[in-house]
Structure 1
Amino acid sequence: MAGIWLLPLIVLFGLAVYRLLQVGRRPPNYPPGPPTLPIIGNLHQIPAENGHIQFQKWAKEYGPVYSLILGTKVMIVLSSDQAVKDLLDKKSSLYSSRPETYIAQVVSGRHVVPGGYRVLLMQYGDRWRMAHRIYHSILNIRAAKSFVPYQDLENKQMLNGLLDEPDSFIDHLRRYSFSLTTQMTYGWRSDRLDNPKLKALFYNLHEFSKTMGTTAAALLDLFPPLRYLPDFMLPARRYAKQLHTVEKALHKGNWMEVKAKLKNGTAKPSLCVDLAKAQDTEGFSDEQAGYIAGNLLEAGSDTTAAQLVGFVQAMLLYPEVQKKAQEEIDRVCGDRMPDMDDEMDLQYIRACIKECHRWMPTAIMGIAHSVIKDDEYMGYKIPKDSTVVLNVWAIHMDPQRHKNPSEFSPCRYLSDLTNSIESAQSKDPSQRDHFLFGAGRRICQGMHIADRSMFLAVSRMLWAFRFEPAPGHPPPDPAALIPGMLVQPRPFPARIVPRSEKHAHAVRDHWAECRALLDEEAQWREIPRGMPLSTYEPPAAAEKEKM
């Protein structure tokens, strides 16, 4: 009798072992990729740091669309502009979700709200569509133009800071991007390098990025049963919850402060004024509002600062580019400081910014997408729920796309008169300038604001200063990056000096004029002339359906 029951058990055990051994294998109809091992697939081949280099090597070996098998998950890597256009842009309705990232969603409140509060990593659904509509409504071109007084003032304080403390240039660039973004988002500014909110934001962002990149975070994504372990066995999750507590208090606190100012009539123009109107229409919570605004603060502060640090690095390594850029500025502007009216006359400066985004992209591997149902491309199956990676570095460094791609050469863009939005919408993907801002429905909606911030910073820094290698120090290594979901150059010294006494006096005079507009707490005394309190444009019903 025992033998009757033993046979089915043996069969079941054999089936279980067979199915387990299939985990980690690449089905024959999937895109090609490196050889796999049972159960773990390609997990053992994913580098802990500088993964963009390995992903670029695989693109050269396996082509513009390849796959990685990561335990129970599938990753599809897009390494050509055409593949990005065909899938993320043209099929955006299928490719607009985000993969499940357990630790990241814990950080953004998954244990409070399903899917979490963080819009950047939120999966496709009603909650994300609502946030997307709001961003579309408040980050319009009218808003971008209306914030120029904020950008002008913060830029001039940054220049004055570089004059007084050039060795702290990274801190000044961070303060510039942070204070500019707090003005646009909340209506208040930060004049200090040691602002506690600034420190808290950058600390939390970098810790969040590092936690996302840990092996523990990857294992929790790839092997969900591990999530049932208690917190004392999962220090990464425990730390993520701590980060969320700090982050939520920061974002909600900033939001509630604006709401209080709106009630007493002291609010300055900001995106949160628009957000309050959207809250009345959409009915979302204060916690969600805090994160919608806070995600704008994170995106504007960290990315712009990192790109500007990359620009300074390029000026040290390519002095001939700096010389040519300053010759253009002198020819167009002479002794006066450049402003936004000069943008289209300073094409080499615009080309420098485009090249900076290409040469040192902060989102070096993009922000991963996820496909919501099975699809097919180039004869290969792309399975539902697979992670889809925009291999920004491989595309930017493709010699078929850019000659000598490792060189910083703005001449690539001298005939490109488009802004970031226009370039991203180009029908010919080979003509797109760069992929820093993503693709499809998940593309950064604040591109036009970023374009203006970068133009004012780059043009005026080059107008006012010379950037030289620090004496006694080796030149910075562009391959030395702080790792994470968003990378940035490792800190390096630089010698930053005024181009002349006339330029130095002009910087101080401009900042003195701006300082007169501020009160004793370094806030605007009154709303800048002609600046609207709100530019909110609620989307029509037809637009809501498309989003």
Structure 2
Amino acid sequence: MADVFTFPEGFPFTLLDVSGYNEQPFDVSADLLTASGNILCALVLGKRFDHGDTRFQHLQTTLKNLGAEIVKWRCPFMTYIPIVQDPAAKLRIYSDEVRQFIREEIDLHRLNLDPENPRDFIDYCLLQLDQQDGGGTWLKEDNVVYIVQDLFIAGIDTTAATLTWVMLYMILYPEVQQKVQAELDCVLGATKPSLAHREQLPYTTATIMEAQRIRQISPMMFMRQADESTRLRGFDIAKGTHLILNLRSVHMDPVAWPNPEVFDPSRFLDADGKVVNNPPSFLPFAAGRRNCLGEQLAKMELFLLFSTIMQHFTLKVPEGAPTPSTQGIFESLSMTPAPFQLCAVSR
């Protein structure tokens, strides 16, 4: 991935700067969605969009609507509701719009493709298509379109939702926020955070992991189907049975996580203060052969964006505002907090 994509100069502050709100209350979720969307666009399209770009805004809205329709298909019974004559109609409409956007970008890439200097994921795919010379058919342009669509669906909303949860818990647990900032100040000073700093910032990393544990953006994973009959922990599972992983039950299991509703990053630190990698009962990116392919990119984004925000701002509940709820809602593919506002005070 490093051969294809390099984070831009000044990243991530160039993609997410909330100083323009002048310490006034605002909803951070839209800015986080734009930032995560631009990161993926830089990787896939080789460019980022201005925050007010109407074409980019339309893409974000379409992806959000598409995610909401996909969520409905987690519940097969929707097909049998009489008033829903064609439950997949909107799903097809939004999918077509996203694919049209991608095809337009592919056409633009073809106009100035330099085989010696590929710029992004689409360029590499186009070069592969050209190299096949009609002799190989394992990759077609339609495949590229669908791959990019999957990257957009799985990689934008999910990262933004996770970061929104982290921001919420920072204003609810100011003592945790202070510990994160103290660690950043001690290790970084005025230096910009980089991926090389991750091992030196264990509490910062653990805070992100605790947010992923306590509020899963996908508490009920996508449905799978048993390929053959089997027996698991005393239960007989017949071939063809539809299975859904209840991730919430894993992350909120009091046996694995004492007082699971308490936000406590120290759960992910060992006796030496180092991060406990791959702890049992922690599956934010699922597991097995079908786990999240974008896990490593997501971890990089989360770390860089979160550490940069914490380095430059202290987040607070607006004066006189009620305490935000930690109950999640589904407006799209990921579970997000109910709308809330915060103030970002420059440090």
Does 1:155 pair with 2:15? no
- TM-score, normalization: structure 1? 0.57
Q: Is the 8 A contact 1:351 1:411 kept in 2?
A: yes
Does 1:402 pair with 2:257? yes
Does 1:175 pair with 2:62? no
Shift of the 394–332 alpha-carbon distance from structure 1 to 2, 3 Å rule, reads same
Shift of the 356–258 alpha-carbon distance from structure 1 to 2, 3 Å rule, reads farther
Q: Secondary structure at the match of 2:220?
A: coil
1:323-362 → structure 2 map (5 Å cutoff): 323-362=178-217
Structure of greater Rg: 1
Query: For the residues of structure 2 that align with 1:156 and 1:239, how far apart are their CA atoms?
Result: 36
Q: Secondary structure at the match of 1:236?
A: coil
**Is there any run of 5+ residues in structure 1 with no aligned partner, and where?**
1-142, 424-430, 500-547
Give the counterpart of 1:253 among 101, 104, 113: 104
Deviation at 1:360, TM superposition (A): 2.0
Does 1:463 pair with 2:311? yes
Query: For the residues of structure 2 that align with 1:216 and 1:361, how far apart are their CA atoms?
Result: 16
Q: Is the 8 A contact 2:36 2:159 kept in 1?
A: yes
Deviation at 1:488, TM superposition (A): 1.4
Q: Is the 8 A contact 2:180 2:203 kept in 1?
A: yes
Does 1:317 pair with 2:172? yes
Query: For the residues of structure 2 that align with 1:199 and 1:149, how far apart are their CA atoms?
Result: 22
Give the counterpart of 2:53 among 185, 188, 195: 195
Shift of the 492–256 alpha-carbon distance from structure 1 to 2, 3 Å rule, reads same
**Cα RMSD (Å) of the superposition?**
2.7
Q: Identify which range, 280-289 or 292-301, moves more after superposition.
A: 280-289
Aligned residues: 336
Residue identity in the other structure for 1:275: C
Q: Secondary structure at the match of 1:466?
A: strand
**Is there any run of 5+ residues in structure 2 with no aligned partner, and where?**
none
Query: For the residues of structure 2 that align with 1:395 and 1:491, how far apart are their CA atoms?
Result: 26
Q: Is the 8 A contact 1:306 1:488 kept in 2?
A: yes
Higher RCO, Cα 8 Å, sep 6+: 2
Q: Percent identity?
A: 23
Q: Is the 8 A contact 2:328 2:335 kept in 1?
A: no
Query: For the residues of structure 2 that align with 1:356 and 1:185, how far apart are their CA atoms?
Result: 28
Q: Which residue of 2 aligns with 1:273?
A: 123
Q: Is the 8 A contact 1:187 1:267 kept in 2?
A: no
Residue identity in the other structure for 1:481: I
Q: Is the 8 A contact 1:470 1:493 kept in 2?
A: yes
Deviation at 1:476, TM superposition (A): 1.2
- TM-score, normalization: structure 2? 0.87
Deviation at 1:250, TM superposition (A): 1.8
Q: Is the 8 A contact 2:29 2:164 kept in 1?
A: yes
Deviation at 1:432, TM superposition (A): 3.5
Q: Is the 8 A contact 2:4 2:121 kept in 1?
A: no
Query: For the residues of structure 2 that align with 1:366 and 1:171, how far apart are their CA atoms?
Result: 24
Query: For the residues of structure 2 that align with 1:300 and 1:245, how far apart are their CA atoms?
Result: 19
Q: Which residue of 2 aligns with 1:294?
A: 149
Q: Is the 8 A contact 1:252 1:289 kept in 2?
A: no
Residue identity in the other structure for 1:345: Q
Give the counterpart of 2:77 among 208, 216, 219: 219
Residue identity in the other structure for 1:435: L
Deviation at 1:491, TM superposition (A): 2.1
Deviation at 1:179, TM superposition (A): 0.8
